[in-house]
Structure 1
Amino acid sequence: MANDWNANIIEEFRANSGKVGGPFEGRDLLLLTSTGRTSGLPRTSPLAYVRDGERIVIIASKAGAPTNPDWYYNILANPEVTVELGTDKFQAEGTAITEGPERDRLYAAMVEVMPGFAEYAEKTSRVIPVVTLASLS
């Protein structure tokens, strides 16, 4: 189950100062906590990221599923999120980029470091959104 999978990654991330093993070993991973758009409860998701200057870039791929991940809709409803990078924790604002040259450039930057994201784009008919996270501090 995805929730158990994520819970194990989150636990490992927090226990090891942001480092995890398995398929994410050696990869840049963050924990994103968004506010559930219907529940109002905090929802934490482990996500791969790349940097674009001061911004952090995450991809709403859901491994190429036909729908966007829940965290994406949570950000649309409430853009203020909490980001955990290693042992750092800070508030950020999420901004969705769903089309255009900036979206394409940022998606390509993720594919460069994690080629699996190219496969996700091929698996789905939707345009996978890119989300940038800008620190609020």
Structure 2
Amino acid sequence: MSVEHRTKTPWLPPRWFIRLAWSVHRGVYRVFGGRIGLWRPRDGKWGALRLTTTGRRTGRQRSVVIAYVEDGPNLVSLAMNGWGEGEPAWWLNLQTHPDATVDLVEGRRLVRGHAATGDERLRLWARWREIDTNLDAYAALRTSETAVVVLEPIPGAPNTMPGT
């Protein structure tokens, strides 16, 4: 006899509100010159970083503030698009141009992005699930699998983190 697990559909604010909140967040970051708007993950919570990618069609630099957790030297995010359909533009850009820059509280880092697969994806998804117990319910709102994006430091890249 199989047991069916019923997951309650989580509440999400309207799409326009999610987009507005992230736009305001980016604006606060810009207005304060990066002194406000980024934070490190701590106490079972995610952090916020600013990711700058190269546009897949324009070739221009595009920046977005996204949530992340640390996994050793790597930074890990979810390409969730506010749990709406489609992939976020930053993830599409990274797939075309995987080298990017992240701004953290500690400074800037050059990274290369890729999607976690197999056991790595399972491990990192479980890590995010510890932070957000509704993760699977949110992911179920999308018809496609949510990519777990790993941002690895580029080997041999100049270290732009202050104090190191």
TMscore range, shorter length: 0.7 to 0.9
1:66 aligns with 2:85: yes
Checking the alignment, whether the CA contact within 8 Å between 1:35 and 1:43 is kept in structure 2 is yes
Instruction: Show the 5 A alignment for 1:77-116.
Output: 77-97=96-116, 99-116=117-134
Deviation at 1:115, TM superposition (A): 3.6
Q: Does 1:28 align with 2:43?
A: no
Identity %: 28
1:48 and 2:67 equivalent? yes
Q: TM-score, normalised by structure 1?
A: 0.81
Question: 2:105, 2:137 → 1: CA distance?
Answer: 27
Matched letter for residue 102 of structure 1: E
Report the CA distance shift for 1:127/1:17 in structure 2 as closer, same or farther (over 3 A): closer
Look up the match of 2:136.
118
The equivalent residue for 2:5 is none
For 1:70 and 1:120, the matched residues in 2 are separated by 19
Deviation at 1:120, TM superposition (A): 2.4
TM-score w.r.t. structure 2 length? 0.69
Q: Distance in 2 between matches of 1:6 and 1:36?
A: 21
Equivalent residue of 1:49, what SS?
Answer: strand
Larger RCO, structure (CA 8 Å, separation 6 or more): 1
Give yes or no for the alignment of 1:75 onto 2:130.
no
Give the number of equivalent residue pairs: 131
Structure 1: runs of 5 or more not aligned = 20-25
Secondary structure of 1:127 counterpart: coil
- Unaligned stretches of 5+ in structure 2? 1-15, 40-44, 158-164
